Chains A and B, each alone.
Chain A
């Protein structure tokens, strides 16, 4: 019970500070938009080529944008040593992770929702027919990215070459999620759309495994 209430209180703090500064949302939003615009010039919109490559580009943009988000995730807590005050205050350190990964997932999903119309326009791909399943894929994929990203952010924040370390740790770890999410998205956006439930299930299992690992070992990541 205290885990849930502590998580809710910390999530409120994460949302309040972000919506006050809008640092992450602005950075990630602008970044995804730039990537989508740039690649739209390289690929002919509406063609078969666009349908093949656009889903991969979408997930690549999400990955890079989320890396920017994770860089500051735990770094912000080091500025005034607030991570120590949180560790002193919460009864279960997993609440700190849970609040951060929920916040990261929400920020990522919000950015993706804002970008989807631009994606549809720039690549001339109709999203409406399969929108609910596409949103489900974006949700499980973003959750996976957030879980792994939040954990790696906690590790890299304490390292000396943190800017270099985070992508080095994160990219190999996220490869399975990104490959499967891109494939599932590509099948959804095909002229004859197919829902790959096995792929969605795979990403969901990845989320579950990483969440369990974070619950079991997260406390060690916060130690000095």
Chain B
């Protein structure tokens, strides 16, 4: 397994494509999301500045996944506005968020390499074969590149899901409980990798349950309850408190 997820190249230096991307943030303005009579989100407003690593905490059903799906532009808010400050100056494929969801979002009937090539080509990634190989190496699946994804374990599927989200070198990463299915070495690898991409200016928003190696990366925690933001902090003690008890 490689040491860091690749916005960077194999040399360890940030790639030319990544350098062209202006830092991108996220702004939620009065977001409501209703499913029939049920409010999944209510008046959610906050801004994520470029380069921040924000953890969304909260109980099951508090609205974390819905908020991430809105940020990924898969779901439209019922009311309110989502914007990406910094992205307007250079609209590019890299401006699209990289999103890891509960589902793997890859095809079981394709091999690991075919999946990455598919999404690389769709997003006009430069040298898709090289990029797919680079990521397969980094997520530790290079030996299984020709295996169908349906033969993979849950942890391996999660790794290919992470590789898919990173294929276009996004400037914003949205991770919904990214540690799901990963073993302890896998979580350590993911934490190191996210630290590296975040250090290079990539904005990270992830939902987590409880404290873990991943929560140590957080520079800010936003707590949701019943679809509303109930706490938003950057300070040490409060951050620790939210991360420890927010998902309980």
Contact = CB atoms under 8 A, between A and B. Distances in A.
A80 B109 contact: no
Nearest to B148: A20
Contact of B109 (A17, A85, A87): A17
B96 A88 contact: yes
B79 to A, nearest CB: 16
Nearest to B96: A88
Given A87-B74, A88-B99, A224-B75, A9 B122 contact: yes
* Chain B at the A interface: SS class: loop
B118 A9 contact: yes
Secondary structure call for the A interface: helix
A82 B105 contact: yes
Interface size class of B (residues with CB under 8 A): 20 to 34
Interface string A167-193: 000000000000000000000000000
Contact of B103 (A10, A81, A87, A90): A81
Interface residues of A, number: 23
B73 A80 contact: no
A13 B107 contact: yes
A84 B103 CA distance: 10
Q: Which 6 A-B residue pairings sit nearest by Cβ, starting from the closest? A: A81-B103, A85-B105, A89-B122, A17-B109, A84-B74, A9-B121
Interface of A: 2, 5-6, 9-10, 13, 16-17, 20-21, 79-82, 84-90, 223-224
23 contacts: A9-B118, A13-B110, A16-B114, A17-B110, A21-B109, A80-B103, A80-B104, A80-B105, A80-B106, A80-B107, A84-B101, A85-B105, A85-B106, A85-B164, A88-B73, A88-B96, A88-B97, A89-B119, A89-B168, A90-B122, A223-B75, A223-B76, A224-B69
Given A81-B103, A85-B164, A86-B122, 15 more contacts: A5-B124, A9-B122, A13-B110, A21-B109, A80-B105, A80-B107, A80-B108, A81-B104, A82-B107, A84-B69, A84-B99, A84-B105, A88-B74, A89-B96, A223-B75
